[in-house]
Amino acid sequence: MAELFFTFVKNLRMATSVRLIRRYVWLVETIRRAGRITLEDINNKWINSSLQDGEELLAERTFHRHRKAIEDIFGIDILCDRSNGNVYYIGNEDILDKPSFTSSLFNGLAIDNLLIDNPDLKERIQYEETPGGNKYLPMIIEAIAKNLIIDIFYRSFNDRRLKEFKVEPYGLKQSSRRWYLISHIPDYETLTVFALDRIESISITNEEFKFDNSWNLDSYFDEVIGVNLEDDYDYEDVIIKVYGHQRHYIESLPLHKSQKLVKREKEYSEYSYKLRPEYEFQHEILKLGLNLEVLSPQWLRDEIKWQAEEILKLYQK
């Protein structure tokens, strides 16, 4: 992921203008919507685009230059089916659907293009705010790509003192609207997680570190739903019962990638998980309130029951 984004930043600087980038996005989105489309039909749509700026047609040479730039910048392949009337299509459309910097950036630019043509829509679209720290993303990604140690000043919620850490940046993970830096601190046995919104300053050093290529970000967090890897919780089987329409939400957006349907009845469904049922998983369970019941393990059922009773006490005062 880091290499892809670093390549994007490098190639983005080579683009002649923001308008040219918007052209690339428009072209990909036009082909993506059509599924398969000829250059003639692309030009029929281009005539009505606000980006054409007096250029009535996309010359074939220009079109192919755009194809090459789109591949270099976004990693998106625009292919041609010559056996079916020279129609163009996106060869790796899944790259725009998977969670990644490329997909979020491209889809954001595609929306931005529409807002330029329809400025009144800005008041009808609302984005979720993030707590902050996004400004550090490019710097951290650069350090990841170059295997350079970074120096950060950090103030956690548990300890309000400002502390300095020199860390080896391993990766980035987004969870619950926050970005987290996954890093290794020399002489620490386990990796350390820093929330970007609690970083007060950051700088890249000239010190290189040797990255363990066997380490994988996805597998590292396989056992949890967020970023908390607490040894206090065992990796075990969990079964829950979900009632009513809430089942549809659970199935369209699983609580964890290990989620499996165990039983489906008229009034409820049961799902199994293999994970560490730590704080963040418990929090997701509590968010569903009366629509969810923990069946096993018994200790987790008792824990959720205790938390529900403690919540009740707050409202009985």
pLDDT at 14 over 70: no
Q: What does the mean pLDDT of the chain come to? A: 87
> What single string gives the DSSP state of each residue in 45-70?
HHTT-TTSTT--S--HHHHHHHHHHH
Asked if 226 and 177 touch (Cβ cutoff 8 Å), the reply is no
Lowest mean pLDDT among 6-15, 20-29, 148-157, 244-253: 6-15
> What single string gives the DSSP state of each residue in the chain?
-HHHHHHHHHHHHHSS-HHHHHHHHHHHHHHHHHSSB-HHHHHHHHTT-TTSTT--S--HHHHHHHHHHHHHHH---EEEEGGGTSEEEETTGGGGTSSSHHHHHHHHHHHHHHHHH-GGGGGG---PPP-S-GGGHHHHHHHHHHTEEEEEEE--SS--S-EEEEEEEEEEEEETTEEEEEEE-TT-SS-EEEEGGGEEEEEEEEEE----TT--HHHHTTT-SSS---TTS--EEEEEEEETTHHHHHHHS-SSTT-EEEEE-SSEEEEEEEE---HHHHHHHHHTGGGEEEEE-HHHHHHHHHHHHHHHHHHH-
The first and second tokens of residue 151, run together, are: 């120096």
| pTM for this model (two decimals) | 0.73
pLDDT at 7 over 80: no
pLDDT at 15 over 70: no
Place of tokens 């970007």: 196
Q: What is the pLDDT of residue 2?
A: 46
Q: What is the pLDDT of residue 100?
A: 72
Residue 55 pLDDT level (bands cut at 50, 70, 90): low
Q: What is the pLDDT of residue 17?
A: 64
Q: What is the pLDDT of residue 154?
A: 94
- Specify which residues 293 forms β-bridges with: 241
Q: What is the pLDDT of residue 246?
A: 93
Distance CA 210, CA 86 (A): 48
